[in-house]
Amino acid sequence: MDAKHLSKRMQAVADLVPKVEKLADIGSDHAYLPAYLLNNQVIDFAIAGEVVKGPFENAVSEIEDQNLTGKMEARLGDGLEVIKKQEAMNVITIAGMGGELITSILDEGQTKLNQNTILILQPNVDENTLRKWLVNHHFKITAEKIVLDSSHFYEMFKAEYTDDQIDYSQVELDFGPFLVLEQSETFKAKWQAKLEKNKFILNKLENSNLKPSEKIKRVKNKIIEIEEVLNGKS
Ligand code: SAM
């Protein structure tokens, strides 16, 4: 992957970004995403935020290599602290990390969010934790995608502020409000694979000496939830 040839995952994230002026990509590493968006005139200015020196230097090199000096700034810092209070970014992207980490970055950086901030998020795991945080902070999911890239399923979503109280069901939090309605082939393949994995785990637990009842109950409930979604009963 590079800024001209994004991976399938990164392209799906890029496709969710609307045409805006300013974007901050947090945990940017090589800054391929903002470089691609600048080169394709989707955005005019980008901050590439990184908390680790090595990836930060990757972003600095990418700015030089792509002649993006003046259009993109690499900034070293934790989460949203790289955004100055007065900057008010139109879009914040956070991709390629666990849902728990993205959630904590948003939670700690709440002062950098406002009612016009558009969030484009791509958690590698724990998507439901992140959706729950969004709901609790008046961010409504307005678009969602799922892709299979290098044998891994990735979900990415756009979230925008709303005054309304949002009330997603547990199924919508776990499976995605748009994805569960759409039931794409990729969505079905992801959850079929999860179903099989959970059935395998259940079999192991039931045949173990300990037979941990709480864990067995949890896995059984997950199996029921997935089967109901795949059979269109939710
Ligand atoms: N966003 C790119 C992508 O989707 O391909 C890079 C993902 S990379 C796996 C995750 C990056 O997030 C790492 O470079 C890591 O240093 C950075 N990161 C982790 N925690 C961070 C934080 N709190 N603030 C800023 N960057 C962070």
pLDDT, one tens digit for every residue, the chain (234 residues): 888 899 999 999 999 999 999 999 999 999 999 999 999 999 999 999 999 999 999 999 999 999 999 999 999 999 999 999 889 899 999 999 999 999 999 999 999 999 999 999 999 999 999 999 999 999 999 999 999 999 999 999 999 999 998 999 999 999 999 999 999 999 999 999 999 999 999 999 999 998 899 999 999 999 999 999 999 887
Q: How far is the CA of 79 from the centre of ligand 1 (A)?
A: 9
Do 100 and 55 have their domain in common?
yes
The residue whose CA is least distant from atom 9 of ligand 1 is 96
Q: What is the CATH number of the domain that holds 87?
A: 3.40.50.150
The 10 Å Cβ neighbour count of residue 94 is: 26
Interatomic CA distance for residues 55 and 27, integer angstroms: 8
The answer as to whether 181 is a domain residue is no
User: Does ligand 1 have an atom closer than 6 angstroms to the CB of 123?
Assistant: no
Token representation of residue 108: 């700690």
Backbone angles phi, psi at 138, to 5 degrees: 65, 30
Distance CA 72, CA 13 (A): 19
| Whether residue 212 sits in one domain with residue 142 | no
The answer to whether residue 55 sits within a structural domain is: yes
Instruction: Note whether 76 and 151 are same-domain residues.
Output: yes
Q: What is the pLDDT of residue 1?
A: 84
Helix, coil or strand: residue 121: strand
Q: Is residue 114 part of a domain?
A: yes
Name residue, tokens 């080169």. Answer: 39
Q: For residue 180, is it within any domain?
A: no
**Counted domains in the chain:** 2
Question: Ligand 1 within 6 A of 34 CB?
Answer: no
144 plus 192 within the same structural domain: no
Question: From the alpha carbon of 7, which atom of ligand 1 is closest?
Answer: 5
HEC profile for 63-111?
A: HHHCCCECCEEEEECCHHHHCCCCCCCCEEEEEEECHHHHHHHHHHCHH
User: What local confidence, expressed as pLDDT, does residue 103 receive?
Assistant: 98
* Amino acid of residue 180: V
Report the alpha-carbon distance of residue 125 to residue 191 in Å, rounded. Answer: 13
Q: Residues 176-202: pLDDT tens digits? A: 999 999 999 999 999 999 999 999 999
pLDDT of residue 233: 80
200 and 147 housed in the same domain: no
| Any ligand 1 atom below 6 A from CB of 47 | no
Ligand 1 centroid to 86 CA: how many Å? 24
The answer to the question of residue 178 being in a domain is: no
The protein residue whose alpha carbon is closest to atom 5 in ligand 1 is 96
Asked if residue 74 and residue 121 are part of one domain, the reply reads yes
Same domain, 207 and 126: no
CB 157 within 8 A of CB 93: no
Structural domain that includes position 139: 8-165
How far is Cα 18 from Cα 117, in angstroms, rounded to an integer? 12
Domain-ending residue, one of 165, 200, 222: 165
SS3 assignment, position 233: coil
Which of 165, 198, 214 is at the close of a domain?
A: 165
Cα end-to-end distance, the chain, whole Å = 38
Residues 45, 154: one domain?
yes
Whether residues 131 and 214 fall in one domain: no
Regarding whether 207 and 122 lie in a shared domain, the answer is no
With beta carbons less than 8 A apart as the criterion, state whether 220 and 199 touch.
no
pLDDT at 221: 97
Distance from residue 82's CA to the centre of ligand 1 (Å): 13
Assess whether the C-beta atom of 51 lies below 6 angstroms from ligand 1.
Answer: yes
Query: Do 96 and 158 belong to one domain?
Result: yes
- Is 83 near ligand 1, meaning CB less than 6 Å away? no
Does 176 reside within a domain?
no
Whole-angstrom Cα distance, residue 2 to residue 201? 38
Contact call for residues 27 and 50 (beta carbons, < 8 A):
yes
Predicted local confidence at residue 4, as pLDDT? 85
CA of 99 to the centre of ligand 1 (A): 12
Are 151 and 190 part of one and the same domain?
A: no
Domain contains 193: yes
The CA–CA distances, whole Å, from 72 to 25, 44, 153 equal 10, 9, 30
Encode pLDDT of 82-98 as tens digits. 999 889 899 999 999 99
